[in-house]
């Protein structure tokens, strides 16, 4: 792979009041959403540590780790990270395969006056069915069988300067392979990895 680990000094600061209100609202709505779907839960839907991810986004901004402003959240769920990115003046979008989550994310962003475009679809680009099938056969909870979300966005993976993902165990390889094959040279991948916390990886060299 042509991914290089970066180890920037993290900007550790409390989120500003608008972000704290966003996070409080999101927590309430996520709790209600999960409670209302106890009989039909969405596989793999677990929010990340949003305060920690905020520190990651601020670090990228403060350290000048990317030159552009185009951001995409893969598997955006309630879209909280994309909303935080929009607050930081990124051109933010999110791709989510579950329509109910796309609707909830859009409502959350609108309620807080944040310009984020959410689309319903897979973050797998068209033509990567073999990768999707391999992942789905080994990890049944990974859902990649929807249409690619990039057409609706009018963008490709290599149009993004920064991509964020919260990969579950086993999904990391899929995320890394996709980013390595299709992201633009110089693009940054930010992931929240639970025990491993935040990871910053830059694609170097030419695309495959």
Q: Domain total for the chain?
A: 1
3-state secondary structure of 8: coil
Spatial separation of the C-alpha atoms in residues 58 and 207, rounded to whole Å: 27
Convert the pLDDT of each residue in 95-135 to its tens digit: 999 999 999 999 999 999 999 999 999 999 887 655 655 55
**How deeply is 112 buried, as exposed, middle or buried, from its count of CB atoms within 10 A (0-12, 13-18, 19+)?**
middle
pLDDT at res. 36:
72
Can you give the length of the chain in residues?
A: 208
Q: Is residue 208 part of a domain?
A: no
DSSP state of 43: T
- Specify which residues 4 forms β-bridges with: 202
Cα–Cα distance, 164 to 192 (Å, whole number): 8
In the numeric block, which tokens belong to residue 89? 């003046």
Residue of 60, 81, 72, 52 whose CA lies nearest to 9: 60
d(CA 191, CA 198): 6
Say how many C-beta atoms besides its own lie within 10 A of residue 168's C-beta.
17
CATH of the domain at 53: 3.40.50.150
Residue labelled with tokens 């030419």: 206
pLDDT of 143 > 60? The answer is no
Name the band, by pLDDT with cuts 50, 70 and 90, for residue 37. Answer: low
CA distance 21 to 40: 29
- Helix, strand, coil % in the chain, rounded to nearest 5: 40, 20, 40
- Give the pLDDT of residue 100: 92
Question: Is residue 144's pLDDT more than 70?
Answer: no
Q: Per the domain annotation, does 158 fall within a domain?
A: yes
56 lies in which domain range?
3-203
- Read off the pLDDT of residues 54-106 as tens digits, 9 standing for 90 and up: 999 999 999 999 999 999 999 999 999 999 999 999 999 999 999 999 999 99
**What percent of the chain is predicted at pLDDT more than 70?**
83
Model pLDDT for residues 20-35, shown as the tens digit of each residue: 999 999 999 998 988 8
The answer to the question of residue 63 being in a domain is: yes
Interval 164-208: pLDDT, tens: 999 877 778 889 999 999 999 999 999 998 765 899 999 997 544
Where helices occur in the chain by DSSP H, the ranges are 17-35, 50-62, 80-87, 99-111, 129-138, 150-153, 172-182
Q: Report yes or no on 191 lying in a domain.
A: yes
**Residue 48 φ then ψ, to 5°:** -85, 180
**The pLDDT of residue 40:** 66
- pLDDT of 51 reads 94
Per-residue confidence (pLDDT) for residue 134, from 0 to 100: 53
pLDDT attached to residue 102:
96
């Amino acid at each position: 792979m042509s991914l290089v680990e970066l180890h920037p000094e993290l900007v550790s600061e409390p989120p500003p009041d608008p972000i704290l209100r966003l996070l409080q609202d999101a927590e309430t709505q996520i709790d209600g959403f999960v409670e209302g779907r106890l009989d039909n839960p969405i596989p793999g839907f677990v929010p990340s540590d949003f305060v920690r991810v905020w520190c990651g986004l601020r670090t990228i901004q403060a350290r000048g780790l990317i030159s552009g402003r185009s951001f995409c959240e893969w598997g955006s769920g309630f879209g909280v990270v994309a909303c935080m990115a929009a607050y930081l003046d990124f051109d933010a979008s999110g791709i989510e395969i579950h329509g109910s989550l796309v609707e909830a994310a859009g409502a959350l962003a609108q309620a807080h006056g944040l310009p984020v475009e959410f689309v319903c679809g897979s973050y797998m680009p068209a033509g990567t069915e073999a990768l999707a099938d391999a992942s789905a056969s080994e990890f049944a909870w990974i859902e990649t069988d929807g249409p690619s979300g990039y057409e609706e966005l009018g963008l490709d993976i290599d149009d993004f300067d920064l991509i964020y993902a919260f990969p579950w165990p086993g999904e990391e390889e899929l995320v890394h392979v996709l980013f390595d094959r299709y992201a633009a040279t110089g693009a940054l991948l930010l992931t929240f990895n639970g025990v491993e916390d935040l990871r910053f990886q830059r694609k170097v060299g030419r695309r495959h």
